[in-house]
Structure 1
Amino acid sequence: MVSWRDLVSVFFGGALGTAARAGLTLALADDLGPALVPLINVVGAFAIGILFGIRARMPMSTRAQRAQLFFGTGVLGGFTTYSALAVESADLSLLWWGAATVVVGTLAAWLGVLIGRGGRVA
């Protein structure tokens, strides 16, 4: 069951992740251009994979679940932005741009899970 503490945790984590993405966008948009959004999404997917892999090795606990909600759903969920990727892909008229980012992001998440699990596949 989801508690109000869980919702608040996701809310504040999401605010931090979104602020981090906005800061990177302000700092790097001129240098990286349209590559910035896919880069953020792939890095975020990799980090979520690591978190998921580490979490899979931990015993079940309320504290671990709350940490996953804060960092995974909140911070990293707010950091990544597939909606911006979709709009950017449509604006650039490059469907392959969005599709390639999803594929690379999935591979990055898989690699992150593998690393988070200490190199074990399952």
Structure 2
Amino acid sequence: MQKQRLDLIEMFVVSLGGGIGGSLRYLLSFLPIVGQWPLMTILINWLGTLLLAILGSYLSHRSSRLKRWQAFLGTGILGGFTTFSTMLLQTAQLTQSNIVMAGLYLVMTVVGGVLMIILGQYIGHVLCGERL
């Protein structure tokens, strides 16, 4: 019974965070679009990846009591904020007009994401007072 109660609390925490993250992504859709390239999606996914790497690195050095923060911030807010499916849809749409740009968009998104993970883990370690 206690486990079920904790699972329901975690589900609520993730749902709340997802609503916040999705709302933040929606608000960013009001910023002006530059050209036909989906820059906002790249920036959203890079920022979300960076913040998730920082969070994961930081929380891995902290008490398990912070597990709900991982669920709220990581799975909830950042999961709702980032958008893998939109990135794939935009890649498919770009292939209709310019396959080279579509490939470049996909490569930039993935390579930039990997770089954000490396940077985020570094920042997380620094926040925990570790020297690398």
How high is the TM-score relative to the length of structure 1? 0.87
Match of 1:82 in 2: 84
Distance 1:120 1:40 in 2: 29
Query: Quick check: 1:66 aligned with 2:74?
Result: no
RMSD: 1.8
Consecutive unaligned residues of structure 2, counting only runs of 5 or more, are: 96-101
- Counterparts of 1:3-22 in structure 2, within 5 Å, are 3-22=7-26
Distance 2:24 2:110 in 1: 21
Q: Which amino acid aligns with 1:8?
A: F
Shift of 1:59: 1.9
Query: Quick check: 1:30 aligned with 2:33?
Result: yes
Q: Which amino acid aligns with 1:80?
A: T
Consecutive unaligned residues of structure 1, counting only runs of 5 or more, are: none
Match of 2:99 in 1: none
Shift of 1:30: 2.7
Higher-Rg member (1/2): 2
Match of 1:51 among 35, 55, 58: 55
Shift of 1:76: 0.5
The count of residues paired between Structure 1 and Structure 2 equals 118
Distance 1:78 1:120 in 2: 32
Higher relative contact order (CA 8 A, sep 6+): 1
* Structure 1 runs, 4 residues or longer, greater than 2 Å off: 29-33
* Sequence identity percentage: 33
Shift of 1:110: 1.9
